[in-house]
Structure 1
Amino acid sequence: MDATLLDAQLTATLKAITALGGRIYDGYVPEKLPTDAAGYILPYVLTLSGITADLPQERDLSGQADTTVHDWAPQTNCVGPTPGHARACAQLVAQSLTNTRIGNHWLKPDPDAFRVATPILDNQATPARFYLPLQWRLTTN
């Protein structure tokens, strides 16, 4: 399955999360973000996804890549002005994406990816914000 279609379905699922108000960004966050009345940024999700890869363990005796079987590993960064906002955003995203159907396959938390236990401060951005990355995996075999 084409990674562009996978990403479009991932984005559509995230945009359906009412509490995020459609604040889903693909690989780039604009300099000007929506804020609340106090001037804090509103929570948002940054998606980072690439193309699909093959699964070496699924190859036949020829050893050649199987172009019908794919492994896709997108990441979502759940962002908010405080650690609590980032956690709440991550909880919404996890509830929405875990076991969601994309194409004819199921998106699941990536069991082999790194785990982040607490939100990470990004003080390189203005205003500073916290983000919590979530790793995902979709396999088409």
Structure 2
Amino acid sequence: MSTETITRGTIYLEDLEIGMTRTARKVITDRDIEMFAEVSTDHNPVHLNDEYANATMFKGRIAHGMLSAGLISAVIGEQLPGHGTIYLGQSLKFTAPVRPGEEVCAEVKVVSIDHARRRVTLETRCLVGDTVVIKGEALVLAPSRGND
């Protein structure tokens, strides 16, 4: 993570507001890619083999898309809404590759709140600089003070 201050914990359903946004940043390292390959069992050589990857349309190794998408999960589970949140669904569109050594910024924004059902729709995206590399939407069950 970068040196930005990140508030972890819970924002309860009752305190959520449309437009609330939280972010997390991480430089994707070779070690991250290797560990993700081990955990996921996705050993596609476009992620792990320079010679192979150089001959692809990407002209070099790229990180697993789901590695960057995992940063969205981190924002949702740690910050917005945070601890106690239950993922119900997530759509993702991968729009550009992430290369080893690049910093990914995951952004999560509240776009709608269904108080009666405790459901919150979140706009999700990841960026490298100004380039959107992933965009999507998440539906979560937010923690509520009334359900502790």
Q: TM-score, normalised by structure 2?
A: 0.29
Greater RCO structure (CA 8 Å; 6+ sep): 2
Q: TM-score, normalised by structure 1?
A: 0.30
